[in-house]
Structure 1
Amino acid sequence: MSRFRRALSLSLACSIVVLETGCAVAPGMEIPSAMKHESESLSSAQRANDASVPITEIDAKVVALQASRTEADIQRVAVDLAGPVTAYKIGPADVLQVIVWDHPELAAAQGSQPTAAPRPADPPQGVVVDEDGYIQFPYVGRLKVSGLSTGEIQTRLRAALAEYFRSPQVTVRIASFRARRVFVDGEVHAPGTQQLNDVPMTLIEAIGRAGGFTPNADKARLVLARGGRTYAVDIPALLAHGEDPASLMLRSGDVLRVMSREESGAYVMGEVVKPTTAIPKPDGVLTLADALSQAGSLNAATSNPRQLYVVRGAKGAQPEVFHLDARSPVAMVMAGRFKLQPDDVVYVDATDLVRVNRVLTLLLPAINAALTGAVVTK
């Protein structure tokens, strides 16, 4: 009997310890106690000093700051990518057609006679600009044309031919545009290289030439790489702020990538009905309320609405943590305005009673085994 009593006393003692410290030893993910808002008397500064990462309350001020940053980014993109419309400049590999009127022999010299059965792989007929930017033309010799417009080339050819012909009439046109190109990749129907021609190419036109967006495209996350810099282009936000995406001009060497909506998702974890990866809407917008809705909302039986967190920038040097007390319906208005970023983590904590219950669930098999062993020994 004494062994049974000792086992029973030990079991009761373990249960008391669990009840007192269950929150500290509960399994699963947990926001550290120093980061929780358990005491309403603590100021934000005190909580920031106690926590390894400062916590920012999601309120109207934070939402307004988020909107102002978005507007600043839009203005920067609109200024940096909008440029004056300039004439096409000839470059290496372009093919020119030079016509000197009343002198057909010069046309024959540049290979402009049609062939009987031209093949698709045959180079275009005309004068090809070499890799150094020069062309070779009868009576003129080597002439530097790279970086010039067709009008400037006409003027130089006319001046050079005037030494051999009286008032030569020269026409220069581009037979094939091959020198300048951009690359469009990602969620478009026909990704690949696109040649720039004498009509300046806008960002919208490049997407149109690539077949348009796929259904999985995130129109709010277009990434343009240019000259060692990267620009994030948000088409719906540009339109919402009165900026015309058609004013964004592409240059030779630009790389435009359209991200997929899956790449822009946020993770929803913790006490929700269905932990998931929340996907932005077709317009690229994903708010905290959208993410919770896709996760089936908070678990009414286990969640603590006071402890709703958004962890941002986990891959960077200094993550950010945002907190929302979701007990009030007004808080969900803030959740509907707080926009999530790709790879954000939304975490809903559990109640203390749920934590204690989970610890007891783990310990009860051991307690029952100890009691059973004591009875058998008796």
Structure 2
Amino acid sequence: MVVGRRLSILARVAGLAAILSGCSGAFPTSGPKVSGDPSIPTDPQELLPHTLINATPHVADVTARDATGEGTLGSFVSQGRAAEVRLGIGDTIGVTIFEAAAGGLFIPDQAGARAGNFVTLPNQQVDRSGTISVPYAGLIPAVGRRAPEVQAEIEQRLRNRAIEPQAVVSIIDQKATQVSVLGEVNLPSRLAINPSGERVLDVIARAGGPKGTGYQSFVTLQRGSRKRTVYFNKLVREPSNNVFVQPGDVIYVYTENRSFVVLGATGLNGKYNFEAEQTTVSEALGRGGGLLDERANPTTVFVYRMESRRVAADLGIDVKVWPKDHIPVIYQFDLRAEDGLFTLRQFLIRDKDILYVSNAPAVEFLKVLTLLRVGVATLNEGNIARSNFNTLR
């Protein structure tokens, strides 16, 4: 009878364990249960739509084309020419007037007492009306004109008063043709554009260069109402993005620690910053302490990523069914395959990726056994307590 009672108790405990083992939320776990098949649920409240892709060397090659996430940023590619330096309001200019002989409008008869047959006028700013003042020539329009054009007009106005006048106009201080370089540079400032033309990297260099390393730096170019952001190293690698700056441009350099998260059956879960421009999945796993031998399932190592539409299309995903710009993709790695570690070494981690290692099936089975053991022990303790109580009576 006692044996029958114990068997009945064990049967009830086993039945409870079987029921719990069939419930996905019955046991504590370090992460989600990922299906082995691609899944695009129809009910968005049930599960976020996503695509599951087996990571292969080909997949690694495709995703490596946008290894730093540059596809999510803009581009500076332009066919614009170097800015032409023209006079503008606020520019300070100098005017020197030469005459062919003494005794003219500006040169007295005693020319030998002078350093030469010229006179230099005081420096002056182009006023808000866009003009400068030249004695005997009046107000000379300057805004939007090149220095030779202003020179020609001064000479034309003085032709009937001075002796074969010649004028030289020089820009003393440029205000109207400047660019602003701000943010994480060593010398933030407004810089006058060189008449020979300057590119984005030129003005960043004149501002002392970026404070951070190249793989941490990003550059935003604002031109009027338009704004684009480019990865700094892309400016260096792709000269087509190193465009000529234009007057009024604002260049903002900032640093951002790109990072990834390691979760699941690894030695050390956590968030890790990139220590170089590129980090592979194998390096990321190494920084996370590697797979735990007693827990990890080497066939289900996952990388969660919001993939760009261009890369998703290259992977064969039908991007037409995805309304948003970024597509949730889960990449699955099988480390028991012969080339599994090579794929791990070839696949590049990207900013904001989540690396997750799931538990092995045996771990879930051990949880069931643990539950059985706890249940049996609890029932035994209850029986012992009841027996002691009966004895006391």
TM-score by length of 1: 0.73
Alignment of 1:332 with 2:341, yes or no, is: yes
Q: Secondary structure at the match of 2:300?
A: strand
- 2:124 matched residue in structure 1: 127
- 2:144 matched residue in structure 1: 147
| Aligned counterparts of 2:12 and 2:241: Cα–Cα separation in 1 | 75
| Aligned counterparts of 1:191 and 1:329: Cα–Cα separation in 2 | 53
Q: Deviations over 1:157-191 (max 9, x none)?
A: 33333354343211111111222333334443334
Alignment of 1:183 with 2:176, yes or no, is: no
Task: Measure how far apart 1:311 and its partner are.
Answer: 2.0
| Aligned counterparts of 1:15 and 1:231: Cα–Cα separation in 2 | 55
- 1:120 matched residue in structure 2: none
Structure index of larger Rg = 2
2:204 to 182, 203, 207: 207
Task: Measure how far apart 1:346 and its partner are.
Answer: 2.0
Task: Measure how far apart 1:274 and its partner are.
Answer: 1.8
- 1:346 matched residue in structure 2: 355
Identity, in percent, stands at: 21
The structure-2 alpha-carbon separation of the partners of 1:238 and 1:343, relative to structure 1 and needing over 3 Å to count, comes to same
1:310 to 300, 303, 308: 303
CA contact (8 A) 1:4 1:371 kept: no
CA contact (8 A) 1:48 1:55 kept: no
Q: Deviations over 1:209-261 (max 9, x none)?
A: 2323335552674343334131424526853xxx4479532223333344435
**168-177 or 127-136, which deviates more:** 127-136
| Aligned counterparts of 2:191 and 2:367: Cα–Cα separation in 1 | 59
Q: Secondary structure at the match of 1:277?
A: strand
- 2:84 matched residue in structure 1: 87
CA contact (8 A) 2:30 2:265 kept: no
**One-letter identity of the residue aligned with 1:222:** V
**One-letter identity of the residue aligned with 1:144:** P
Task: Measure how far apart 1:317 and its partner are.
Answer: 5.9
| Aligned counterparts of 2:338 and 2:236: Cα–Cα separation in 1 | 31
| Aligned counterparts of 1:200 and 1:147: Cα–Cα separation in 2 | 17
| Aligned counterparts of 2:163 and 2:30: Cα–Cα separation in 1 | 88
Extract unaligned runs of 5+ from structure 1.
Answer: 113-125
| Aligned counterparts of 2:133 and 2:371: Cα–Cα separation in 1 | 86
Which structure 2 residues correspond to residues 1-378 of structure 1 after superposition, within 5 A? 10-18=12-20, 20-21=21-22, 24-33=25-34, 36-37=35-36, 47-48=39-40, 52-67=49-64, 77=75, 79-80=77-78, 83-102=80-99, 103=106, 107-108=120-121, 112=122, 126-131=123-128, 133-218=130-215, 221-227=218-224, 228-235=226-233, 238-239=236-237, 243-244=238-239, 248-260=243-255, 262=257, 264-282=258-276, 284-313=277-306, 318-328=327-337, 330-357=339-366, 368=377, 371-378=380-387
Structure with bigger helix share is 1
Count of paired positions: 344
| Aligned counterparts of 1:79 and 1:324: Cα–Cα separation in 2 | 36
Q: Deviations over 1:29-56 (max 9, x none)?
A: 53444xx22xxxx6x6xx4578821123
The structure-2 alpha-carbon separation of the partners of 1:256 and 1:328, relative to structure 1 and needing over 3 Å to count, comes to farther
Extract unaligned runs of 5+ from structure 2.
Answer: 100-105, 108-117, 308-323, 388-393
CA contact (8 A) 1:83 1:248 kept: yes
Task: Measure how far apart 1:355 and its partner are.
Answer: 3.8
| Aligned counterparts of 2:156 and 2:25: Cα–Cα separation in 1 | 89
The structure-2 alpha-carbon separation of the partners of 1:316 and 1:363, relative to structure 1 and needing over 3 Å to count, comes to farther
CA contact (8 A) 1:288 1:336 kept: yes
Q: Deviations over 1:279-306 (max 9, x none)?
A: 3344x22333332232233233322222
The structure-2 alpha-carbon separation of the partners of 1:136 and 1:339, relative to structure 1 and needing over 3 Å to count, comes to farther
CA contact (8 A) 1:90 1:146 kept: yes
Task: Measure how far apart 1:350 and its partner are.
Answer: 1.8
| Aligned counterparts of 2:295 and 2:194: Cα–Cα separation in 1 | 62
| Aligned counterparts of 1:174 and 1:363: Cα–Cα separation in 2 | 89
TM-score by length of 2: 0.70
| Aligned counterparts of 2:227 and 2:173: Cα–Cα separation in 1 | 30
**One-letter identity of the residue aligned with 2:27:** A
